[in-house]
Structure 1
Amino acid sequence: MQFKHSHITCNFPSSYLLQELLGVGAVSEGSLLWEREVAMLRQQLQNLQESHRRMMGEELSGLSIKELQNLENQMETSLRSIRMRKEQMFYDEIQDLNRKGNLIHQENVELYKKIDLLKRENQEMNKKVYGTKDTNGTQSNGFLANRLSIGDDPSEPVHLQLCQPQQDNDETGSGAANLGIKLMNIQVHQL
C-alpha cells in the first residue's frame, strides 16, 4: 500500500506482505500490532498535512466558523511567538553591537592617550633640539649654530636662504668635504 502527498511518499506494507516478511501463514498478534501502529502513524501524517495546509491558508472551505476562529487564534499565538523571538534576536544583536562599540571607544581613548604621550615626547625632543630661551629672550642650544634664531613654536616652518660661497681660511685639514655652500642669516618667518 502506498500513501502520497505532494513530495512525500510513504510505503506501508499490507498485512499480507507483513505476514510474508515475517514468514507467518496466519495473522499473528505481533502483525496486528504493527498494522495498528501503521494505521495510527498514517492518520497522524494525514492530520499533520491537513493542519499544515490550513496554516498555509489552503483548503479552508470545509471549516466552520468556530474552527476558523481556533485556527486564527493559533496563528496569532504563533505570530506572537515569532515576534518575541525576533525581538529577542534584535535585542541580543543590539547588546552585542553596544559591547563592540564600547570596546572600540575604549581603544580610541587608549589611542588618544598614546597620541598625547607621543606629542608630549615630541615637544620634549623639540625642546632638547631647539633649546629654551634664556632671560634675554635669545635661543640657547648646543646643537644649532649660533646664527640660527628659532621662534617660540617649533612646528613653524624655517625658511633657509643660500648665499654665495666664501673662501674658508680653515687650513686645519679636518678632512671634511667643502661643498661651497654656506647658510647665512637664517630666520624663522611667521606665516
Structure 2
Amino acid sequence: MQELKTCHGNMGRGKIEIKRIENNTNRQVTFCKRRNGLLKKAYELSVLCDAEIALVVFSTRGRVYEYSSNNIRETIERFKKATADTSNAYTAQEINAQFYQQESKKLRQQIQMIQNSNRHIMGDGLATLNVKEMKQLETRLERSIARIRAKKHELILAETEILQKRMEQENACLRAKIAENDRLQELSMMPSGQDYAIQEFFACNVLQMNMMENMPAYPVSDKKTLHLG
C-alpha cells in the first residue's frame, strides 16, 4: 500500500495508508479537506502557469464540485475534440493494420480449408475426420459424381445427335451419287440404240442409192431426127 506523509499540527508528521476509510465521519472529513486542497491546487496551477483547467468531483452522495479557469463546457468540448482527433488518427492506422491482418488470416484459413478439402476428396488425411464429416464427404462426392454423369450423358446425346446428322448427310450424298450413277448408266445405254438406228438408216439410204445407180438409162431422142408427120 502507498503511504502518504501528513502533518497534524503539534503532533508532527505522520503516515496515512492510502486505502478506503471505513469510518463514514472520517471519510467525509477527509473528502472535504482534500477536495478543497485539490480545488486550490487547480486554481494555483491555472494562475501560475496560465493553464486551462477544468476539474469535476463527485462525492459518494452524488454531489458535484467543479472548478474551471474558463467556461467548463468549452474546456470539456475542447478536450473531446482533442482526444477525438488523436483517437481518429491513431484509429485509422490501427484499423488499416487490423483490416489487413484479418483479411490475411481469412485468406490463409480459406487456403487451408481448400487444401484439406482437396486432400479429403483424393482420399488423403481422412484419419482426422469423424463419422459425421465422413458422411458429409461421401454425400458431397455422390453429388459430384451425379453431376458429372449428367454432364457426360448430355455430351453423349449431343455427340449422338451430331453423328446422326452427319450420317443422314452422308446417306443423302450416297443416294444422290447412286441416282447420278443410274442416270449415267441409262444415258450410256441410250446412245448405243441410237447408233444402231442411225446405222440402219444409213444402210437403207445406201441400198436405195445403189439401186438407183444400177437402173438402165433411157436414150434421149435427137432433135435432129425428129420428124413431124
Q: TM-score range by the shorter chain?
A: 0.5 to 0.7
Given candidates 174, 181, 184, the residue that maps to 1:115 is: 181
SS across alignment from 1:58: coil
1:35-83 Cα deviation digits (max 9, x unpaired): 1111101100000000110000001012111111111111011011111
- 2:121 alignment partner, one of 55, 58, 61: 55
**Does the CA contact (< 8 Å) of 1:53 and 1:59 recur in 2?**
yes
Q: Which structure is higher in RCO with an 8 Å CA cutoff and minimum separation 6?
A: 1
Residues 126 and 42 (structure 1), Cα distance of their counterparts in 2 relative to 1, 3 Å cut: same
Identity of aligned residues (%): 25
- CA–CA distance in 2 between the matches of 1:69 and 1:142? 100
**Which residue in 1 is equivalent to 2:137?**
71
1:28 aligns with 2:94: yes
Query: Who is 1:40 aligned against?
Result: 106
Q: Is the 8 A contact 1:55 1:75 kept in 2?
A: yes
Contact in 2 for aligned 1:131/1:141 (Cα 8 Å): yes
2 CA distance for matches of 1:54 and 1:141? 96
List per-residue Cα deviations over 1:102-134 (Å, max 9, x = no partner).
Answer: 0000011111111111111111111112338xx
SS in 1 for 2:129: coil
Partner Cα separation in structure 2 for residue 78 and residue 123 of structure 1: 67
Task: Summarize deviations over 1:116-163 as a string: whole Å, max 9, x none.
Answer: 11111111111112338xxxxxx83548xx9xxxxxxxxxxxxxxxxx
- One-letter code aligned to 1:106: A
Per the alignment, residue 104 of structure 1 pairs with 170
> Quick one: structure 1 residues 141 and 119, their matched pair in 2 at CA, closer, same or farther if it must change by over 3 Å?
farther
Q: Where does the alignment leave 5 or more consecutive residues of structure 2 unmatched?
A: 1-89, 207-229
- Between the aligned partners of 1:130 and 1:27, the Cα distance in structure 2 is 112
1:92 aligns to what?
158
Q: Which has the larger radius of gyration?
A: 2
> RMSD value over aligned CA atoms?
2.3
Q: If each structure's helix is expressed as a fraction of its own residues, which one has the higher value?
A: 2
The alpha carbon displacement at 1:28 in A equals 2.9
Number of aligned positions between the proteins: 114
Superposed structure 1 runs of 4+ greater than 3 Å apart: none
Letter of the aligned partner of 2:127 in structure 1? S
Unaligned runs of 5+ in 1: 1-23, 133-138, 147-191
Name the TM-score, length of structure 2 as normaliser.
Answer: 0.46
2:146 and 2:201 map into 1 onto residues whose CA distance is 78
Letter in 2 for 1:121: L
